[in-house]
Structures are given as C-alpha cells and as structure tokens.
Amino acid sequence: MNLDIKEAILKKIREYDRIMIFRHIRLDGDCVGSTKGLKAILQATFPEKEVFIIDEQVSDYLSFMGPDDEDVADEIYQSALGIVIDTGNEERISNQKYKLCKELIKIDHHINRSPYGDLMWVEEERSSACEMIAAFYGAFQDQLKITSRAATCIFTGMVTDSGRFRYEGVSGDTMRLAGLMLDQGIDTELLYAHLYLKDFDSLKFKSYVYDQMQLSPHGVASIYISKAAQREFDLSFEEACTAISALEAIRGCLCWIAFIESGDEMETIRVRLRSRFMAINQVAENYRGGGHACASGATVYTQEEVQSLLHDADQAVKEYKETHEGWM
C-alpha cells in the first residue's frame, strides 16, 4: 500500500513544473532536514522544475543547511503542487499560503488526527519525517538523484528526531535508510559539531535548570523558564526551550516537562513533555496539544494550568508505576 502512495506522490511531482514544500512552526532538525532534503533531491532529479521552500522562520543551529527562498507572488503558489512535511495539522503549517496551492500532499509521521491534502502519506511508526524522505528516495533510486547535501539534510533530521537513534521508533529500516544516506558521503564530524557543540553560556543555563528543577510526588521532573530567566541568561525563546533536554535521564522520572514563557500578549506558556516507557500524549491533548506518545507539546496560559497539567502528568506516572514493572 505504501509503495502505491509513494508512486502516486512521485507521479504528482512529475506532473507539476512548480513545487512548494512546507513545514511546521517552531523549526526543528526534522522539518528543516526533510524539506531541504526533498528539495535538493527534486532539484538534482528535475533541474527544469522550480522548487521553493518559503518560510520566515530562522534557526541559528540549523542554518548550516542553508537559507530558504524569498516569498513569491500568489500566482506562483496557485500553479504549484504543495508538499507539507512533518506537520500533523494544518494550523501548524508555518507558511499559511500553502492554502493557495493547486493541490496538496501531506507527508508525516505524527499520529494522523487531522488528515488533510489531496494525497496523504502518513506512517506513524516512522522515527522521523526524514526517514520517510529517505524511504521515498530508497524506493525510487533508479529514478531519483541525490546529492551529499540532500543526504546530509535528511540524515540530520533522522539523528535529531530519534535522539541520535535511541528512541522507540528506531527500527532496522531506520538504520538501513540512515546507511543509505551515509553512503552518499556525509561529513558526520562537521554535522555533529553543528548540532552538538555547546556555547559556554548555554552550559551555564543548563546548570540553572539543574538547580531549579522540581520533582512531583510520583516522579515528574519539571522546570519553569520565566521571561526573566530568559533575560538573565540572554536566551532566545528557542534556546530557552532546550531546557527540556537537561531533564531526560533522571532515574525514576518517567516523565519530564518544561514550561517556557513566550512573552507574547496572550502570556502563552509553551509546554514540552517527554516520557520514557509510558505515553504522555493524552495529557498534552488535554492542554491544547498533542504529538507522539513519548514526545508531545502543549500550550497553557496560567499558573493554575501549569499546576493542573503537572498534577495530571503525576497521576499518569503514578498509574503507570502501579500497574507496570521493569521501569527505571
């Protein structure tokens, strides 16, 4: 079945002279890598086609994958095939002009609660959207061309979205497709330097997170990053959101959560939820969020909601611990 949908997508791509690729708000390695990787494959294979990624967002640590395109007139969108990658629902598509496109394809690995598009290829068990783009290339190696730049972008998302190939969704197929990308000639030393070198100041911030983290009765580790703390450490919002990673390996904490004040007029607080062994997405879904079983996001607006979400997560951990064995 999946080969059929991949074939249908390739057929659609062949039909169009213009292709516009879209991703989600709040850039990460997977949405940037998958969009840029597919664009590079399409440009190498079909040099006569125009391929655009138009997105106002920028991210310092992902900038090594190169800039996006300048915006174009609405007529260009209207004649284009739109491909949205790694974006579960339409509200999260960063460039809302995707609606102008003549036809739309959804390629995604999130739980498919909000189907959209004329064609849809969703594989929830894939560890990243980049893995799907690698699989797309893998299925049509005789028809598609790839470059080491494309492979680097795709490999980047495979690495970042799978926590360096550690998360549950990683399969033998993930590794085979990662191998296929490595075969194209990726400078992994340079790539990992881009992704993982830390600034001195960011480590100071990490030590603040360790100092301020809280523990709930049944083992939810959490951190609250106020706007004042972001100012104190001179952090961008995106940098502040990385606080979640400091909490990921605490024995007995099956769930860890970061609350980050956005500083907007709605006083939005972004919530990042992560878990090990147990699912946490149901809690996220009760607070305007969703995502994967063990990696979800949500949005809250008040301290009461912060406490309520923490309480719900604590109850979920309690229930899991009472009914399961073997967790750590």
Q: Is 313 in the site for ligand AMP (CB under 6 A)?
A: no
Alpha carbon 58 to its chain's center: 14
Residue 41 or 295 with smaller CB distance to ligand AMP: 295
Q: Is 276 in the site for ligand AMP (CB under 6 A)?
A: no
Indicate which single residue of 29, 169, 219, 297 sits in contact with ligand AMP (rule: CB under 6 A).
297
Specify whether the CB–CB gap between 28 and 130 falls below 8 A.
no
Indicate which single residue of 65, 291, 306, 309 sits in contact with ligand AMP (rule: CB under 6 A).
291
Distance CA 28, CA 199 (A): 19
Q: Is 296 in the site for ligand AMP (CB under 6 A)?
A: yes
What's the min distance (Å) between Cβ of 140 and ligand AMP? 26
Q: How many CB atoms lie within 10 A of CB 71?
A: 14
Q: Is 299 in the site for ligand AMP (CB under 6 A)?
A: yes
> What 3 state SS string does 47-61 have?
CCCEEEECCCCCCHH
Q: Is 33 in the site for ligand AMP (CB under 6 A)?
A: no
Would you state the structure tokens that stand for residue 164, as one six-digit string? 């360096």
Pick out residues in 64-103 that bind ligand AMP (CB under 6 A): 88
Indicate which single residue of 36, 150, 289, 313 sits in contact with ligand AMP (rule: CB under 6 A).
289
Residue 324's closest CA among 273, 276, 292, 278? 278
Q: Is 295 in the site for ligand AMP (CB under 6 A)?
A: yes
The one-character DSSP state at 73 is -
Q: Is 272 in the site for ligand AMP (CB under 6 A)?
A: yes
Residue 127 or 216 with smaller CB distance to ligand AMP: 127
Q: Which stretch binds ligand AMP (CB under 6 A): 7-15, 136-144, 290-298, 318-326?
A: 290-298
Residue 274: phi and psi, rounded to 5, are -135, 150
Q: What angle do CA 118, 35, 16 make, to 5 degrees?
A: 45
Cβ partners under 8 Å of residue 255, min gap 6? 219, 220, 221, 273, 274, 275, 276, 278, 280, 313, 316, 317
Residue 59 or 79 with smaller CB distance to ligand AMP: 59
Strand order in the sheet with 295-300: 214-215, 220-225, 255-261, 269-275, 295-300, 290-291
Pick out residues in 9-28 that bind ligand AMP (CB under 6 A): 26
Residue 117 or 289 with smaller CB distance to ligand AMP: 289
Q: Is 57 in the site for ligand AMP (CB under 6 A)?
A: no
Site size for ligand AMP (CB under 6 A):
14
Q: Which stretch binds ligand AMP (CB under 6 A): 15-23, 62-70, 286-294, 305-313?
A: 286-294
Give the binding site for ligand AMP (CB under 6 A).
Answer: 26, 88, 110, 272, 288-292, 295-299
